[in-house]
Structure 1
Amino acid sequence: MATTSTFILDPYFGELFSSYTPAQQAANVDSLRTLMDKIQSGDAHARREMGIMSHPADGEEDAEDEVRVALAQCSWQMAQLLRFSSPPRLAEAEPYLRTALAHAPNDPDPTLYLSVVLSLNSARSEEAMSTYNGIINASGNVYTNAWAGAALARMLRRTGRTAEAQTLEARAVASLRGLPPASVRMLLPSDDTAILEHPAVRALLGSDSASATGPGAPLRKSTAVTA
């Protein structure tokens, strides 16, 4: 893709993105959305200029496949930028996650993101749990596993399902073992007393006195959507 799109889709862009001001973050989200619109609506020449169509001789079917892959990659990056925005905008991410998962339905990380998005709406708690349970045994990013487990546990506590929440909290804590205190703090919501007071979490945090910064930490190192 062209230089601008390559930069905004870089797998390490999240680390830089999280240091931007809210206005800069919003501008980058808008830039990525504009790029997606161009990919979707552009003609063959425009897509070749963006690096979407590899060869002028690409057939129509090949070109459509390349467009779908590009939109899936952009959509996954968009979901992450919305998560890492300040304030977080993860509630807006569902359509982008659906696009990413249409291309790679068994990719665990976008699926875990989707479960967290669904958990934000109490009316969709069963859908959130079904989505989470359907992928939790697949291998995925350890940070995403811990973050999603904590988020789903929080949803369960909100709805009075304390025993189920405790099970998820234990699973999330198991994913956190071995991480430095700063990473643990960045993955857990600063106001989620239940998991922060978990004995294992307190042991992981030890004497670290850094203030918690919430779940929007740029810890996901790859934006690739599994082919």
Structure 2
Amino acid sequence: MYTALLPIVLFLTLVLQTASRPIVYQCVPVETSVDYFDPRPNGGAMLDNAGDGYGEPLNVIVSGMSSPEVLTEDGIVNFARAIGFSEECFGLHAGAPQTANLGDGNGWVNQTIELRQDYDNAGVGTCLETLIGGNHFRVWKQNGSLADSGALFLAVSKEEPLLEHHTIIPDGYNIGRDLLVQNAVGQTSYNGVTYSTVARNITGLLAPGAVGVNHNISTDGIVTLLTVTIL
């Protein structure tokens, strides 16, 4: 009789030992199955809020189908360095952050980070951009419960020198976008990470023209989708 009960006793002992062990959850980036969600149906916008009643176009999207590591803050910084951008000069930022509503349920949130052209020097090159102007972009992540694509929405523009108060150059939104895309497409690398990037232009997300656009600078309405894969 006792011999027959032995397997049951061993099974219950194993169950109790397993239940007493702490459960360890490992947080890893997860690849999504969509490029992005259109922010507008859920009350979002393709212009950010520059704080003066106008906005700057979200004219580049890093697809949610990119390698998950790219879609983190550290990941976009490393990718940015691979295509000629870096963090601001000594980490200093003048002016208030801009906000964007990506229609994901998070409402209007501050930019995650702002990155500037580094003139081929990731250490101090952005200090030169601060003085003489150049390309730069702001980043927001679409990760709210209503639209969790994981995509990064970028507001890209080329700006004037410091003496011109960093206003956007004529046609600076289109020019800034095109310069960033030109640097990104193909194979790039930084800090031992190699990227392969493909681009696709999208119309219908961003209205062409200058209505509501900061500095009254017209745009062509094109948003470029980048899919970035780590090789």
The TM-score, its normalising length taken from structure 2, stands at: 0.28
Structure number with higher helix proportion:
1
